Structure 1
Amino acid sequence: MTVKRWAALACCNALGAAMFLSWLFLPAHGFWQPLDDGVFFAFQQLIADSTAFTYFVAFTNLRPFDAIAFLCMLAIYLYHFRKADARGRRWMVAMGLSMMVAVVLAKQCDMLMHFERPSPTKYFIEQGVPALKVSTLTGWPAKDWAGASFPGDHGMMLLIFAAFMLRYFGKKTAAAAMAVAVIFSLPRMMSGAHWMTDVVVGAGSIACVVLSWMLLTPASDRIIACFEKKVPWKKFGRIFADDKP
């Protein structure tokens, strides 16, 4: 590894630790809580003012809508997969498996730092502060309530995908993947199912640490190489067969 890589690794870990520790140890979450409150009540005001926005938020928080995020990620992945030759397709599947390893590691961190932090709607309603629930306003089974919302695992998975796209496919693909991450992380914050810091601090700090060790070190490349070597590609048909006869 180069000095530049080591410096980037240290910065990512320091950033992740700083975000998490500042949220955890500052009294009443310090400067993060006013930001959380401001984001939540801004969306609450929009919900109160617009029926169309209320239904939009409810729709984007239905379970089937999550499948659209997956399809968007799949479309980005397949764009590169279709252009690859047999060797490239094997590498892409191995890269996808490496990404799953990162997801598992991030999920372990998620489980270790899982706090019983209620979502904004639940928190404020239990505090006697009126809060609008889009599921009640629309009658749709939209996600707008959670007993434990920190960290935001939905946003974390999207960040992992975007980071892998940046590492292996460059800035244009990463920009598309990051757009997917932002667009599909917002609905949970708009409905009050997640605080802003559930994604920014919770998912962001885990992503900074796990992904830096995966992508700024040779770890992911070695995992990919291992999968390329160990997976019995011939059993999966001609799509992975070498182009040579």
Structure 2
Amino acid sequence: MSWYLPIGRDWWFAVDTRIFFFFNQYLATSKPFLYLVAFTNLRPFDVVAFLAMLLIYAWQYRQMDRAGRRWMLAMGAAMLLGAVFDKVFMESLDKVLGFERASATKYLTAAGYELNRVSVLSGWPAKDWASSSFPGDHGMFLLIFVCFAARYLGRRAALLSLAVFVVFSLPRIMSGAHWFTDVAVGSVSAVSIIMGWYLLTPASDRIIAWLQRHGDRILHRLVP
């Protein structure tokens, strides 16, 4: 709320710009950092984040017996459903409150600042520009996985998932494709609201049970 209201917007903007310029200065002075940021902002690198989550899921899946594996599949389906709920919620809220804003690079370039662009300096098609960057969808979906891991998969899986969230959210912030608050405020707020309702009530348990009950025939085929 403090980010949305005018009284708190200046404070958050100061945080955003300080973080952006901290990383942006090193794009011109450090070649290793430049190419690290460029590489981690290539579109195919997003697949690595998905694979990291899949490995955590598969690690838990392999420890289960046959019934547990069918439950894991139902839980995974419920997680995807939760992601849809979250996306629809944010799109509906955006239509009412108008959260849309340009990424750090686009906004500050329009304001007259001379910036270091990852895609220009590296020559790679790295993502460092967006017309609408709030909330951070990338961080939002990673955080949903963190919430499900914390609720259902135990402490170790939750901590590993949290590490994946931090590591794979940072590149967009470092390149300027997202502001810090796109993730810290946008993604976290959206996920906290929906996942709080979804995971801290019987809703997710009932959906998983329903999927197990009505999808039992399909689950038996997937996990004989």
Q: State the TM bucket, normalised to the shorter chain.
A: over 0.9
Identity of aligned residues (%): 50
**CA RMSD, aligned part only?**
1.3
Unaligned runs of 5+ in 1: 1-20
Contact residue 233 and residue 240 of structure 1 kept, 8 A: no
The alignment status of 1:127 with 2:134, answered yes or no, reads no
Contact residue 90 and residue 233 of structure 1 kept, 8 A: no
- Cα distance between partner residues in 1 of 2:34 and 2:161: 26
Q: 2:206 aligns with which of 214, 219, 222?
A: 222
Unaligned runs of 5+ in 2: none
- Change beyond 3 A, Cα 1:170–1:235: closer
TM-score after normalising by structure 2: 0.94
1:26 to partner: Cα distance: 2.6
Contact residue 70 and residue 220 of structure 2 kept, 8 A: no
Structure 1 residues 233-244: aligned runs within 5 Å: 233=217, 237=221, 240-241=223-224
> Can you list the C-alpha shifts for 1:172-215, whole angstroms capped at 9, x where unaligned?
11000000000000000000000000001001101111011111
1:52 to partner: Cα distance: 1.2
> Can you list the C-alpha shifts for 1:116-145, whole angstroms capped at 9, x where unaligned?
300000001111111111001111110000
Q: 2:89 aligns with which of 99, 109, 114?
A: 109
Structure 1 residues 32-43: aligned runs within 5 Å: 32-43=12-23
The alignment status of 1:192 with 2:176, answered yes or no, reads yes
Comparing 185-194 and 44-53, the one that deviates more:
44-53
Alignment match, 1:168: 152
Contact residue 78 and residue 208 of structure 2 kept, 8 A: yes
Alignment match, 2:41: 61
1:84 to partner: Cα distance: 1.1
Aligned pair count reads 220
> Can you list the C-alpha shifts for 1:64-106, whole angstroms capped at 9, x where unaligned?
1000000000000000111211111110010001101110111
- Cα distance between partner residues in 2 of 1:137 and 1:235: 50
1:235 to partner: Cα distance: 7.0
Q: Which amino acid aligns with 1:80?
A: Q
> Can you list the C-alpha shifts for 1:33-91, whole angstroms capped at 9, x where unaligned?
11101110000111122011111100000011000000000000000111211111110
1:236 to partner: Cα distance: 5.5
Contact residue 73 and residue 219 of structure 2 kept, 8 A: no
Q: Which amino acid aligns with 1:99?
A: M
